[in-house]
Structure 1
């Protein structure tokens, strides 16, 4: 097995995005903890060793979930152009090899996250089970899979936050809520672009199963709901006007891109929305971190 095969097995780019989200939330949680204990929210009292443990453990757990996903979908991946060259469908790697890698990464990652605290360890196990064994098989049965998948997809910021501040409080729920609502617009933009390829594997993930006006309207509505959700840090008093202003601008741009998809029903518009979603989340999360109230 070479690095390219390992990269494709664990879906490296997706895994890095997940780890980034969790690491930013860890820093937010650290500043909350410091504010509660010593009345200080700067950078000087953050446990950077725990931050590294979260990154390594989060990478391993996410990679394991993606590995199990590819094992389950091996035969379906052979049918799709986008996935046919992955190590399992191309038979450059056996299912047994992938299973060993997935189990090793999952166990080690859960151990590292569990050492931070039990809530973090529990949430990591829950995310693997829900993603690999609930979301994955549902993808061929119903668009409800997107809702199920949005839960483990939104757990990384929650896991990162409780790794530093072991309680699920309002800030934790805000971080979860922003990423949860973002998932729908993000994923349906991807599903619109890749719909032809997905259908080769039997996946019908758009709201109606097709590129039609109703699917576009539902996608637009999720972007619309995301707008007030993204303003919760400022509204609830946990962030200042900078995060509120940037979140508002990003949400309006995102909403315009979703409206453009609804207006045109074109793959080009869906691709623009997809790339917009890649920028939206890290920008909003970073602004929340840097504009955290009481810094």
Structure 2
């Protein structure tokens, strides 16, 4: 098996973004404790990478026949015949168990949240994608769990406090605009597999309006660190600027309802989250 095939199975770029989000939140949680246990940070990164990779592997096993229908996924290892379902299953189970063990060694709640994330993503969100746009709401939960898991992992006894909820909330609301921007760009390909991910099921005014509404909601949510006193004016200012740019991109999609504007919104979403999270960490450290 080639690394390129394994990389496609675990969706390396997506997995790396997930782990990055969790690792930043771990550092925020560690700062709240007053110290950083670097070996635990390494365990989180490795464990998080394995757990996320496992969830992606299970996703591709379940969707192997559907992946054959879409241009962007037909070259994945299972539909292309470069890897058998059995091989992918063994890899997925191995990574899932190893990752859960590492995360569970940090504290029990971290391990339980990681298992919940795998189950919800692979066995609830994945099958729902062909049934209803509600799949995006379900998928936004495991999609927003990484920062929560990262923060909880930094707590010796594993606890969820206001900061953890704020980190989860920002990523949760961001997920919708992010998902729908991607779904707008890839709607033609998604339809080949019967996926219904846009709010109305198609590229229309309703989908654009709902996307814009969630971008509006993200503005005050992104300011929660400053509102609750966990961040200063720097994180508040950067978050506000990023949110307004994101809102403008959403408005342009609403105004034009064209794929190029959806693509700009999609790329904007890739930059938005890491910038806001890193700024929260920096501001939290120097505050």
Q: Which TM-score band (shorter chain)?
A: over 0.9
| 1:186 matched residue in structure 2 | 178
TM-superposed deviation, 1:204: 1.1
- What is the match of residue 85 of structure 2? 95
Q: Given that residues 100 and 115 in structure 2 are in contact (C-alpha distance below 8 angstroms), is that contact kept between their aligned partners in structure 1?
A: yes
After TM superposition, where is structure 1 displaced by more than 4 Å over at least 4 residues in a row? none
Give me the whole-angstrom Cα distance separating, in 2, the residues matched to 1:293 and 1:50: 19
Q: Partner of 1:39 in structure 2?
A: none
1:259 CA displacement: 0.1
SS at match of 1:291: helix
Q: 1:156 aligns with which of 126, 136, 146?
A: 146
Q: CA deviation at 1:142?
A: 0.2
- Kept after mapping to 1: 8 A contact 2:31/2:285: no
Counterpart residue number, 1:38: none
Matched residues in 2 for 1:201 and 1:134: separation? 17
**Residue pairs, 1:32-43, within 5 angstroms:** 32-34=32-34
Q: CA deviation at 1:46?
A: 1.1
- Alignment correspondent of 1:221: 213
TM-score (norm 1): 0.96
| Residue of structure 1 in register with 2:3 after alignment | 3
Could you give the per-residue CA deviations for residues 174-203 of structure 1, whole angstroms, max 9, x where no partner exists? 000000000000000000000000000000
Q: Which residue of 2 aligns with 1:127?
A: 117
1:50 counterpart residue number: 40
Are 1:188 and 1:219, in contact at CA under 8 Å, matched by a contact in 2?
yes
- Is 1:209 equivalent to 2:201 in the alignment? yes
Instruction: Name the residue aligned to 2:59.
Output: 69
Structure-to-structure mapping, 1:203-282, within 5 angstroms: 203-282=195-274
CA deviation vs aligned residue, 1:16-57 (integer Å, no higher than 9, x gap)? 0000000000000000011xxxxxxxxxx3111100000000
Tell me, which stretches of 5 or more residues in structure 1 are unaligned?
Answer: 35-44
Identify which of 250, 270, 291 aligns with 2:283: 291
In structure 2, distance between residues paired with 1:144 and 1:33: 37
Aligned length: 285
Match of residue 160, structure 2, among 145, 153, 168: 168
Cα contact 1:87–1:93 (8 A) shared by 2:
yes
Tell me which residue corresponds to 1:14.
Answer: 14
The runs of 5 or more residues in structure 2 that have no matched partner are none
CA RMSD across the alignment: 0.7
Q: Is the Cα–Cα contact under 8 Å of residues 79 and 201 in structure 1 kept in the other structure?
A: yes
User: How high is the TM-score relative to the length of structure 2?
Assistant: 0.98
